[in-house]
Structure 1
């Protein structure tokens, strides 16, 4: 009997949910035999969630079915559901025709039953009945239904589709109901907050108006805001109302991972605008995609009609990624909502008929703040109130893998953007909105707007709709997401929840955001290293996690003074970000697209705005000084190009990359990538994305030069000294855009064979304008260390570094002996005869007869640790003491790395004892004890920096409820073992613990330097 479910028979597949790109189209595509141990491109897979899951196929015509066969996906072993039932859709809905149970994995499962007349068939898996390895997931490679079609009209597949969606939504809402009920109660308990408590108050409005009248940059920025807002002023309220659809957005782009059906690519490869309903254009080939479009199959040349009635269109064989579902209709809804309330992921086509400006809700609110014209506030009120009517009925995007944390509007990690934008806009317009009679009358004309159900329609209904139906459900998502997520997601969500609580004057929300079990205090402490680096390897995320958006969110809750909460490590994180992003060019490590895109547009002044932004938030004038230096003192010119609304309201008036490796003889590699000649481009992470590889053995000095723009513009040259076995590798790596078609950057890698625990690289980085200025770099022979001779016009620098544990290092300059006992040393000989000697952390530097004595280095040990004020009692054994501004290094042989901190305060207790206040938070990590196991305890508190840096806590002291309990022998993510088994006595589940960065007995060493300038020698 025929397989009635096959795609060629007109069957339409549906899945309860989706795991990333494992599309439901694979349920009936006919592919059921595949090699390997994974089903990434051959099977449908649901998300992993504690909900019923199903795989269904709706027939083209009614059918008589008496047997099904299901071929399971594969992840290692066959992903056979352990318990499921077979159901058929009849006139009365779903009818169970078979129930099956399997204790062992199998490739295929069959079920026969009495013939049933039906319009669809599905496999239904109850909660937790999936494969043993992944019980909350369902994975189907192929569902076959055998029987025969019978006479009758075509099946209304939309009716069955909608029933499936309604069933899933009901299950989803029921699962969330306890959280939703509690969060809404918190919102409703504080019903009347003040307005203008967010990032823009009355003082900031006046400052913006002064800036507009006195500076060109502010005038230009305000004109852009007003122009965007005026586009909406020309539209009636009904136009705005109709732009916010009641249907789900469901997809952030037609295909998040696969780009264009013909040209492939990835995200940001399609474009549209608000005046092109449900239509998309490929940015590469210019083809138009929409329901009913006729496109030519690139393989066969035949015309194919695109059919997308809301479920997406699945590309047939012959297209770039056959079997991929493209969501043209639902992605366009997402695009429109994003233009109104945050920003689109895909590109915008310029058009006078479309809205192509900035985020509409913020532009309207800012226009009101600038002008005081309440008509702008009215239009913003229409947008907000309409969104509040439909927001709780959305279920976000479905083309990604994590529905439990999926937002109402957006996918897993971005819902906080519209939350913040709506919140900040409402804070500005609330006073006008809640007395706007025209607004109330408009929504009364649209239907029932007794939102609070008290039988009356008044301004309390508008307030209830915004607070309860909009911000209430936004907070429900924040609460749900923070309990599941990690990484930068949870930081942004915590910051926005704090801002919501602050602006709604709701202390319960603020306390949850900061001190809750998934709050900012725990997460920023446990995910940020002591120098302010976020736990990710990617500098892009490390920088982005705290600058820009995160600082903006903190500023939105400025009355909470989050910037000065030591547990949040804000200042350290800002300082790290500024050091890494000092020139607007983030190192290309990991997912660093932000830095890549700034390079591509040759944006040399990007750091200027960030410097000023950091200064606004921290008050540190060092940031402002760097901003002035980077802008050449012409602040207005830079602001005119890069300022945003934050500077308008808070500021005071006031490139492709190419490289060359010089004369090194490089041998091209025959194909492949840096990952290997047999690894194709894009097949492996990291090195697999650098192609056009050449290699050279280079034990001598070599250099590589990169330039931005033409020969007369800025460049940087790297000169590296050689070493035995050194290999130089060059290649080109691409950034974002169409796969295989992006601009390529030049990469140079230096590799050395492993020599024990460390490998030494000696290099000089030379930024220049026009042409390099260093004439030569040569190695120096140094016993106990390394050195380099650097010649520039007018002088020669001799640089030394101690690398071995010896009493003194020695070298020679022009026949004169050099001897030093220091971490670093420098000797500079000027052509005029002047000499400079400099050392860091050492006792002396001798050059011939000339001697530079180093200062006495303060050394000692920690006597006591004071957690309450991040201070220590230090006993000194040498040196003249410590002073404010000093840098201290702390050493403990039981720890894998040293700690360092700046000195904030010093109080002398007696001749050799000091109380030293530190710039460093002593709280290395904190959490809650989950269970106690003899000499160890467990914790499920997120501690990702321990995950990525094993051994980081070894040798550190643990405090429980403020009392020191003992030192850790070993610590892994989730389990902490004491060196002394008795230290765990009395611990119990629920105790709060803290891992202290420093401990009694740690060695203390203050950093010192010295320099000496000797005048020209007279003949």
Structure 2
């Protein structure tokens, strides 16, 4: 009974389980030393936490420098033939590095090296027979990707002659960005549309009245964005790591709203100014904003600059870039591709550095890209993907990027987001010969997709999870990153699992509020085209979600139940 309970507890804590019976653990060492530790002796992250056999504690190094080591000494000799090593990286991947290579040294001369072929939390190291020793040292030499700390949850020495000690199967965890393979796609567009759709759209624009009217409407929308030269529009581009905000606190004078994001009361001919519903234009002399907000007498912050920056990036994201890419798709006129590429390249030049989302969004720490917090990063990422896919084959993307020049002019010192909300500054990839395509691929598409991809491993099946999943999926389908695509259909929280868990046999969504249900249907529908158009060795014909009966019922049955002779109440 005790053995089974220990096995169950080990499975719950994610450390080590015995299949049958219980290996004998050596007594804890009497003395411990570490290269560094994030807490003083007796503290939360002190070195003794690595050998206390408690699931809720762990040792953390004081920094990320390598090598890091722990030395253990016993007053009397101990014997062991197996060693279990349990790290903490998967629980806190943003803070703790995944180990790649470590070694064990015993004072009897035994030396054992272990290398992880992929990120994992648990290693069982077998010694050559039963070894007797009084001192042992564990040294971490390499990690997959540097993080702030090196962490160790448990280090145990065991007598395990029957080799029953085994690592508990770990939950899936995200691969680091460095492990991704980008294969590209043979033709574009390939995510939501294909070249056949483009040909059909152009034919309809030429041969039908409604098609011609739609093309005229799109081209009319582009007229505004085709005005002025690039320098004019670059004058509105926020600094890397600038403030972004919803504007929840409203006007400090009267309390009226400024509007939100792309709907804020801003104008291109009044840069930096936001106007409340009562007509107050801010910031002004009495309410200054140096980039990190104005703090009123009541202690609340009013982010005038953040509202303006949000409006600019949302206008470009939701209006300029889609309209220009649609115009290029319908006409093939490279002028539209050129201007769309310019806006995408400009935003990509600050995207990876703008990692706090809206500063007034209720989360700690703040996180996101531009104005979009957390899961809403995906909602603009899919817009970028759709537009970029439409112009991807244009040679204008192979022209030099703005990023190197903008980076050279970046002010020294911490950005507004680090000064204002403590979000650590980030830096995108740059080099002197960077092209627009490379900048957009690396610093917008993959940066945003990796953010979303990592969030999908938090094991939740709500609407936000669907957003994260579709954001990474869209980029994977665009650039040929199979990891992002298979995560959407093969992972423990895939679209199939979402359907099985969240939609009942009558096509009803588990969050029964109508707004949530309708929103979920709109989200799940965005998985269809990227998967249908995907091609790989595993899925040579793509994946048709509507082959699944639950997917079909999710969209058909609720509407049919209220259908009355073709009418809905």
Structure 1 length normalisation: TM-score?
0.34
2:478 is aligned with 1:503: yes
Which of residues 292, 307, 317 in structure 2 aligns to 1:311? 292
The structure with the largest helix share of the pair is 2
Is this contact kept in 2: 1:542–1:577, CA < 8 A?
no
Is this contact kept in 1: 2:446–2:475, CA < 8 A?
no
2:505 is aligned with 1:530: yes
Inter-partner Cα distance in structure 2 for 1:274 and 1:405 = 28
2:479 is aligned with 1:487: no
Compute the displacement of 1:463 (Å). Answer: 3.6
Inter-partner Cα distance in structure 2 for 1:481 and 1:580 = 36
Compute the displacement of 1:420 (Å). Answer: 0.7
Which of residues 379, 389, 392 in structure 1 aligns to 2:352? 392
Compute the displacement of 1:416 (Å). Answer: 0.9
Is this contact kept in 2: 1:199–1:557, CA < 8 A?
no
2:172 is aligned with 1:198: no
Is this contact kept in 2: 1:250–1:399, CA < 8 A?
no
Is this contact kept in 2: 1:240–1:382, CA < 8 A?
no
1:205-216 alignment runs, 5 A limit: 205-216=198-209
Post-superposition Cα deviations, 1:504-563, rounded to whole Å, max 9, x if no partner, equal 22222111122113322222321222222222121011012113x542453244323343
Instruction: Please name the residue that 1:361 is paired with.
Output: 321
Instruction: Please name the residue that 1:324 is paired with.
Output: 300
Q: Structure 2: 5+ residue runs without aligned partners?
A: 1-39, 45-56, 58-91, 99-118, 120-143, 146-174, 410-427, 534-541
Q: Secondary structure at the match of 1:575?
A: helix
1:592-631 alignment runs, 5 A limit: none
Compute the displacement of 1:490 (Å). Answer: 0.9
Inter-partner Cα distance in structure 2 for 1:404 and 1:398 = 9
Compute the displacement of 1:369 (Å). Answer: 0.3
Compute the displacement of 1:265 (Å). Answer: 6.4
Q: Secondary structure at the match of 2:343?
A: helix
- Moved >6 Å (runs of 4+): 176-180, 441-445, 580-583
Inter-partner Cα distance in structure 1 for 2:344 and 2:96 = 24
Higher relative contact order (CA 8 A, sep 6+): 2
Alpha carbons of structure 1 residues 447 and 490: separation in structure 2 relative to 1, 3 Å: closer
2:254 is aligned with 1:262: yes
Instruction: Please name the residue that 1:289 is paired with.
Output: 282
Is this contact kept in 2: 1:515–1:522, CA < 8 A?
no
Compute the displacement of 1:501 (Å). Answer: 1.7
Alpha carbons of structure 1 residues 545 and 259: separation in structure 2 relative to 1, 3 Å: farther
Q: Secondary structure at the match of 1:440?
A: coil
Q: Secondary structure at the match of 1:555?
A: helix
Inter-partner Cα distance in structure 2 for 1:177 and 1:382 = 37
Inter-partner Cα distance in structure 1 for 2:96 and 2:225 = 37
Which of residues 287, 300, 312 in structure 2 aligns to 1:336? 312
Is this contact kept in 1: 2:258–2:265, CA < 8 A?
no
The structure with the largest strand share of the pair is 1
Which of residues 229, 235, 244 in structure 1 aligns to 2:237? 244
| Structure with bigger gyration radius | 1
Inter-partner Cα distance in structure 1 for 2:196 and 2:383 = 20
Compute the displacement of 1:488 (Å). Answer: 0.8
Compute the displacement of 1:278 (Å). Answer: 2.3
**Residues matched between the structures, number:** 380
Post-superposition Cα deviations, 1:650-674, rounded to whole Å, max 9, x if no partner, equal xxxxxxxxxxxxxxxxxxxxxxxxx
Q: Structure 1: 5+ residue runs without aligned partners?
A: 1-98, 104-134, 136-171, 293-304, 317-321, 343-358, 584-624, 631-766, 768-1019
1:760-839 alignment runs, 5 A limit: none
2:175 is aligned with 1:175: no
Which of residues 440, 450, 466 in structure 1 aligns to 2:440? 466
2:208 is aligned with 1:227: no
Q: Secondary structure at the match of 2:265?
A: strand
Alpha carbons of structure 1 residues 265 and 379: separation in structure 2 relative to 1, 3 Å: closer
Inter-partner Cα distance in structure 2 for 1:581 and 1:234 = 49
Which of residues 418, 429, 443 in structure 1 aligns to 2:391? 429
Inter-partner Cα distance in structure 2 for 1:339 and 1:278 = 14
Which of residues 519, 527, 533 in structure 1 aligns to 2:494? 519
Is this contact kept in 1: 2:258–2:275, CA < 8 A?
no
Instruction: Please name the residue that 1:150 is paired with.
Output: none
Alpha carbons of structure 1 residues 224 and 507: separation in structure 2 relative to 1, 3 Å: same
Compute the displacement of 1:338 (Å). Answer: 0.9
Inter-partner Cα distance in structure 2 for 1:375 and 1:270 = 29
Inter-partner Cα distance in structure 2 for 1:441 and 1:482 = 31
**What's the C-alpha RMSD, in Å, of the aligned pairs?**
3.9
Compute the displacement of 1:498 (Å). Answer: 2.2
Is this contact kept in 2: 1:554–1:562, CA < 8 A?
yes
Is this contact kept in 2: 1:260–1:270, CA < 8 A?
no
Q: Secondary structure at the match of 2:521?
A: coil
Which of residues 538, 543, 555 in structure 2 aligns to 1:561? 543
Is this contact kept in 1: 2:243–2:358, CA < 8 A?
yes
Instruction: Please name the residue that 2:5 is paired with.
Output: none
Post-superposition Cα deviations, 1:887-937, rounded to whole Å, max 9, x if no partner, equal xxxxxxxxxxxxxxxxxxxxxxxxxxxxxxxxxxxxxxxxxxxxxxxxxxx
Post-superposition Cα deviations, 1:569-615, rounded to whole Å, max 9, x if no partner, equal 322221255358879xxxxxxxxxxxxxxxxxxxxxxxxxxxxxxxx
Instruction: Please name the residue that 1:417 is paired with.
Output: 379
2:449 is aligned with 1:457: no
Instruction: Please name the residue that 2:84 is paired with.
Output: none
Q: Secondary structure at the match of 1:190?
A: coil
